[in-house]
Amino acid sequence: MRFTGKTCLVSGAGSGIGRATALQLAKEEGQVVVIDRNDAAGNETRDLIISAGGKAIFCHCDVGIEADIIATVETAIKEWQKIDVIVNNAAMMTFKKIVDLTYAEWEMVMRVNIGSVFLFCKYGIPHMNPGAIVNISSVHAHETTANVVPYASSKGAMEAFIRGVSLEYPNRIRINCVAPGAVDTPMLWNNPNVKSGAEVVSGAIGKPEELAEAICFIASGEASFINGTTLVADGGRLDIL
């Protein structure tokens, strides 16, 4: 029970890796703030936790909106007075060549994928003493494909971000990334490049629960000497890209 009595925030917890992580944290007696902009999906995750005997609340939050993030942090503090773990999982992708992207589309990806990480750190860290932050990066930060440049760029920025933040709070906050490869989630199968066959998903496809195990390890005291780095959990995908 690595998270007994710990307040754990998980964004994008309505499905996929986020839901699996929220369920695992709650299974290990964490009190979970389920964060999603999809109310039905987020409430379903909360209900799954509660029905299994766990503790959870749901916060509607569009992570691309600063006011929503502020309200989510305030709700967590009002409910449980502290924050111990933040899992920044929510993300989005575009599937266009750079010349076909609008600046608004580029900006939206950056706001959701890396802006939200900055904001959850900015508003969450003051309530963490100590605490662990886990950001969900991607193999795209290391090897990528055509037509997903904003996504890959945001994940590369995320890994640079955690290296810097780890130096700002070395004795109080641990901040790391977990970089998944192909995972059986809606984001993978809704990718139009995958749907059309333009991108062939080869090699191992992970389960959300397998990523949740890696995320919870990095968030736990078992990883107390791991800070400012990225755990690649990709089933060997980078070896074949």
Predicted local distance difference test score (pLDDT) of residue 47 = 98
Q: Would you state the structure tokens that stand for residue 119, as one six-digit string?
A: 């904001």
What pLDDT sits at residue 205?
87
Task: Write the DSSP assignment of the chain as a string of letters.
Answer: -TTTT-EEEEETTTSHHHHHHHHHHHHTT-EEEEEES-HHHHHHHHHHHHHTT-EEEEEE--TT-HHHHHHHHHHHHHHHS---EEEE-------S-GGG--HHHHHHHHIIIIIHHHHHHHHHGGG-SSEEEEEE--GGGTS--TT-HHHHHHHHHHHHHHHHHHHHSTTTEEEEEEEE-SBSSHHHHT-HHHHHTSS---S--B-HHHHHHHHHHHHSGGGTT--S-EEEESTTGGGT-
pTM > 0.85: yes
Query: Domains of the chain: which residue ranges?
Result: 7-239
* pLDDT at res. 236: 85
Q: What is the pLDDT of residue 53?
A: 98
- The pLDDT, as a whole number, for residue 82 is 98
Give me the architecture of the 7-239 domain, per CATH.
3-Layer(aba) Sandwich (3.40)
At 200 the pLDDT is 67
**CA 157, CA 147: separation in Å to the nearest integer?**
18
pLDDT at 145: 85
What pLDDT does residue 241 have?
Answer: 57
Catalytic residue at 151? Answer: yes
Candidates 103, 123, 151, 169; catalytic one: 151
| C-alpha to C-alpha distance for 163 and 160, rounded to whole angstroms | 5
At residue 110, the pLDDT reads 98
Residuewise pLDDT in 10s, the chain (241 residues): 999 999 999 999 999 999 999 999 999 999 999 999 999 999 999 999 999 999 999 999 999 999 999 999 999 999 999 999 999 999 999 999 999 999 999 999 999 999 999 999 999 999 999 999 999 999 999 998 889 999 999 999 999 999 999 999 988 999 999 999 888 787 767 777 777 766 667 677 889 999 999 999 999 999 999 999 999 998 887 876 5
- d(CA 142, CA 134) in angstroms, rounded, equals 18
Task: From residue 226, give the alpha-carbon distance in Å to each of 10, 162, 174.
Answer: 20, 12, 7
